[in-house]
Amino acid sequence: MGDATLESPDPRRHAPSVAKLLDDARLRESISRVGRSIVKDTARVVQQAVRQGELAPEECVEAIIAAVPEHASSLRAVRNATGVIVHTNLGRAPLSQAAVDALVAAAGHTDVEMDLASARRAPRGRSTIAALRRAAPEAEEVHVVNNGAAALALAATALASGREILLSRGEFVEIGDGFRIPELLTSTGAEIHEVGTTNRTRLEDYARAVGPRTGFILKIHPSNFTVRGFTSDVGLADLATLGVPVVADIGSGLLVPDALLPDEPDVSTALNEGASLVIASADKLLGGPQAGLIFGSAAAVDALRRHPLARALRVDKLTLAALEATLAGPRTPVRQALELPLAELKERSTRFAEALRGHGIDAQVIPAEAVVGGGGAPGVALPSCAIALPSRLALPLRTGTPPVIGRVVRDRLLLDLRCVPQTDDELVLTAVVQAAVI
């Protein structure tokens, strides 16, 4: 019996050991690029394939090299064909190439807190702050923290801890994943004084609520819902007449009015109307890295910047670099997606669908609507178009390389190329063709 096995050895029994594979000189590059433990995990998977007879033992090393991921983080770059421009689950704003380059350049040692001429300590983020001040000249001072929520927490802590924040009942907002702004605010030790009703709040309601315990009035832009019908609310200009600080959380990060999104608030207008502080996210319509931007009067911004909590919310050098480059650099991908002419998108999509039909795939261009997404402009639909495909392609496309995310509507998978850089069309096309053969 032993003889029979010796005469026709089963290659499955000869899977090389993981230790032996890792010693192979051909894997040195992979090990130095992503680290030993990732290559080891990949080697185990490949070894298993040999044991199951799916791979010859001598093919192991090549198979490992092919299967080792490109980088050591398991976050995967995906193509956003959802037509949702600022998609929270897909990481909100994609950075411009200028911002990516700046971020990579800042990844090593940098002069983030040193003046190179004098070798003295210099204020962290000074050039990013200067860029923000140029972009929003109405602001006397600017400060940057980790995100919009951090900016709100800092404002509440520095200006209203142990005191009251006046907030309209129509602005009790949940921002996603179960996080609610009023709960965030009270977690700092501030109290919320509810004003008005869900659908109607008037200036008199605020005026009655103002008292010696008022820290500030908070005005939150409803960035992810709309209220329609019998409604009224109070603008910043009126709130600013009540003699207490007004903090405007505008959410979306527009710095100046935007003709494409006329109902979206912006930093300059909010400051001109009398807000003491304006809070916004940097990774929504501004198109930058995750950060919370605080604009306002010198006194109000200084109170926040010098509060001990500010140190716990400060941004890193990568964010500072990417944010500065976003402000100085070319049109961001978010702006490009927002401004893409429909005719151009239709032409691209038509070519795309034709190429797919050439591969025998059922593909039609249909009218669709794109949206800004979690970043703002709720209820605003941008006329768009999409390539309609059989919905069975959704899963293989999502899990393919690169993953392509579309939208399934009534049994069809819709791919809206608005947020896909045109230079990636070929890549996405190949991904669809591959998904169709699975």
Q: Which of 94, 251, 288, 333 binds ligand PLP (CB under 6 A)?
A: 251
Is the torsion defined by CA of 326, 327, 329, 333 positive or negative? positive
Q: Which residues, numbered 275-294, are part of the site for ligand PLP (CB under 6 A)?
A: 281, 292
Total residues in contact with ligand PLP, by rule CB under 6 A = 11
Among 148, 182, 215, 288, binds ligand PLP (CB under 6 A): 148
CA separation (Å) from 368 to 250, 386, 391, 431? 28, 6, 16, 22
Nearest one of 380, 372, 384 to 416, comparing CA atoms = 384
Candidates 141-149, 255-263, 353-361, 388-396; binding stretch for ligand PLP (CB under 6 A): 141-149
CA distance 409 to 414: 7
**Helical ranges in 169-223 per DSSP H:** 181-186, 203-209
CB of 292 to ligand PLP, least distance (A): 6
- Interhelix angle for 148-160 vs 298-305, to 10°? 100
Q: Interface with ligand PLP by CB under 6 A: which range of 64-72, 78-86, 142-150, 408-416?
A: 142-150
| Residue number with CB closer to ligand PLP (88 or 364) | 88
Least Å distance between CB 264 and ligand PLP? 11
Site for ligand PLP in 158-197 (CB under 6 A): 175
Q: Which stretch binds ligand PLP (CB under 6 A): 8-16, 220-228, 238-246, 320-328?
A: 220-228
User: Which residues within the stretch 335-364 sit at the binding site for ligand PLP (CB under 6 A)?
Assistant: none
217, 190 contact by CB (below 8 A): no
Alpha carbon distance 134, 337 (integer Å):
25
373 binds ligand PLP (CB under 6 A): no
Q: Among 92, 330, 378, which residue's Cα sits nearest to residue 222?
A: 378
Helix locations, 329-378, DSSP H: 333-339, 342-358
Shortest separation between residue 240's beta carbon and ligand PLP, angstroms: 19
Task: Tell me if 418 sits within 8 A of 370, measured CB to CB.
Answer: yes
Residue 265 sits in the site that holds ligand PLP (CB under 6 A): no
Query: By CB under 6 A, which span of 70-78, 117-125, 217-225, 360-368 interacts with ligand PLP?
Result: 217-225
Q: Does 147 bind ligand PLP (CB under 6 A)?
A: yes
- Span of 2-10, 146-154, 351-359, 363-371 interacting with ligand PLP by CB under 6 A: 146-154
Q: Which amino acid would we find at residue 33?
A: R
d(CA 287, CA 141): 21
Contact set with ligand PLP (CB under 6 A): 147-149, 175, 220-221, 223, 249, 251, 281, 292
